[in-house]
Structures are given as structure tokens and as C-alpha cells.
Chain A
């Protein structure tokens, strides 16, 4: 079966750093994505990891460990506009089908 787990909600303070974890068990693996989604809007792409290690892109970094079935999204210098849902998604092998986790709702407080 396929299973993607991430915390339901997190709260952090403006200017701080927050780490959102994601663990997955899938029948095949061809990459892990992180998306940001504001309420009522479509997801927007944040990062893509297919090899182990850390990918940094501005205030956002994403880490992957394929052997552990684990990834995290790191957000630095949090801003109020970062309040959103963060979706972890795994692409399987063959057909590029992507399965999404339930998402983590992040609340950034002043």
C-alpha cells in the first residue's frame, strides 16, 4: 500500500524556523515534492528531491532520505504570508503518478 504521513498542524512565530516532517511508504519512488497551498487556491511548487540530501532554495530547504522514507521541509525567517498548508507528495514509478499526503497546516503568529 501507499502511505504518506505528516503532522496535521503546526504553529510557529514570525522570524523563526520551522521544520515540517514527512514519512512515506510507497510501492515505488521517483521523487518527493513539497507544495504550498493557501486556502481556496491550487498548490504551488516549492521543491523536488529525488536524491538523498538537502536542497536549498532561498528561505526554503528540503531534505530527503530514501532509505528512511523520510523528508522534511525547512522554512527560515518565517513571515505571516507563510501561513498555509504544506503538502508532501511522492511520485511513484511508471506513469509519473503523484500521491499527496494530508498536508500540514502552518500557522505563523506575530
Chain B
């Protein structure tokens, strides 16, 4: 099956700094990727839809200036958490759909655990 990777798998940063998380589709091209956030014992909350070559679409309540998304190629989307605060500590997961395969399955990356101190 299709593989999605994320880097880093975990990161600790100080409050006020910025952190970039990469999401890559390893063996397929993804015109659309999705970014989710998951707090402990809660479900995945969709943050934004990342579209290759265009601006991301953010969900209501998600600050686009704080969570910068760039989808510069068909295999890479990045999420940058700017001016991170402890409340941004969470599990960030990306997913992608292999449109060319005709499959409706959404492939998830392994997630990035962010801790802001």
C-alpha cells in the first residue's frame, strides 16, 4: 500500500519558537494532503486541507497565521507551528489520498508528537 512519512517523529521546543513538520508521500503523488491534530484521549481534529500549488483551506477556529501550511510539490506538505505555546503540544498527523489509484483510502503518516516547554 501507499506510504506516508512524517518528520520528525517527535520534537521538543521552547515556547515562542517555530517548528516545521514535514509530510511526504513516498510512492505516490498527492495533490491533496490533510493535517490533523489529536490531543490525548481525543479524536483527530481536522486542521486544514493542503492543496499542491495553492493556498491551504483551514477549518473554522484554526489560525492560518499560526499554522503555516506549504504544499510545494506533489509529494511534500509542511506544517509550521509559529510562536509555539504549551497549549500547542499535541500529536500532529498528516494524511494523503492517492488520487491516481482510484482508491478512496486515506493514508496516514505516523504522526509527530510536539511538546512545547
Contact = CB atoms under 8 A, between A and B. Distances in A.
A101 to B, nearest CB: 6
A95 interface: yes
Contact of A95 (B32, B43, B104, B108): B32
A96 B49 CA distance: 9
A24 B49 CA distance: 21
Interface of A: 31, 33, 40-45, 48, 50, 85, 87, 91, 95-103
Contact of B93 (A31, A33, A42, A102): A42
Contacts, number: 49
Interface in B71-117: 91, 93, 95, 97, 104-111, 113
Contacts of B62: none
Interface of B: 32, 34, 36, 42-46, 49, 57, 91, 93, 95, 97, 104-111, 113
B110 A41 contact: yes
25 contacts: A40-B91, A40-B113, A41-B111, A42-B109, A43-B44, A43-B93, A43-B108, A45-B105, A45-B106, A45-B107, A48-B105, A85-B43, A91-B104, A95-B49, A96-B32, A97-B34, A98-B34, A98-B95, A98-B106, A99-B46, A100-B36, A100-B44, A100-B46, A102-B42, A103-B43
